[in-house]
Amino acid sequence: MKSIEITSKLPYSAPFLFVDEITSVSENTIEGNYLFNKSQDFYRGHFKDNPVTPGVILAECMAQIGVVSLGIYLLSKQTEASGTPRIAMTSSNVEFIKPVYPGEKVFVKSEKKYFRFNKLKCVVIMTDTEENIICRGEISGMILKAES
């Protein structure tokens, strides 16, 4: 499965899609990136005169690339899956280390801890263009095949 096929199966669209590109994927890892555009609406109120990307949005970006995209890839290896899979985040434990400002590009790397009974758990790290760690943690989700 190619990276464009993975992103086309993501169950998100703008303004809640936080994946620009999947740059590599395998049975155990995935990497991708996203540019936080200065015009994104949440910057208007978070925070006045000093906009910063909300932590929940950073965690969502990590989940979309590091868990959901990898889950779509793993499901495609099990069967000839068609349609958009059903997804639910089950847990996250993310440590936030540095802020992300409007206009910054982030890079997400995820390593599978396990994928069994349709539950995927990954160690996910987000870095900036200079490879400084922005946030890291473990994120889990249920990844189910699309209903026919």
Residue 85: count other Cβ atoms within 10 Å of its Cβ: 21
Give tens-digit pLDDT for 93-148. Answer: 999 999 999 999 999 999 999 999 889 999 999 999 999 999 999 999 998 776 65
pLDDT at 46: 86
Query: What is d(CA 38, CA 139) in angstroms, rounded to the nearest whole number?
Result: 27
Q: 46 catalytic, yes or no?
A: yes
Structural domains in the chain (count): 1
Find the CATH number of the domain harbouring 61.
Answer: 3.10.129.10
- Give how far Cα 91 sits from Cα of 16, 59, 71, Å: 19, 11, 15
Which one is catalytic: 12, 46, 76, 92? Answer: 46
- Considering the entire predicted model, what is its pTM? 0.92
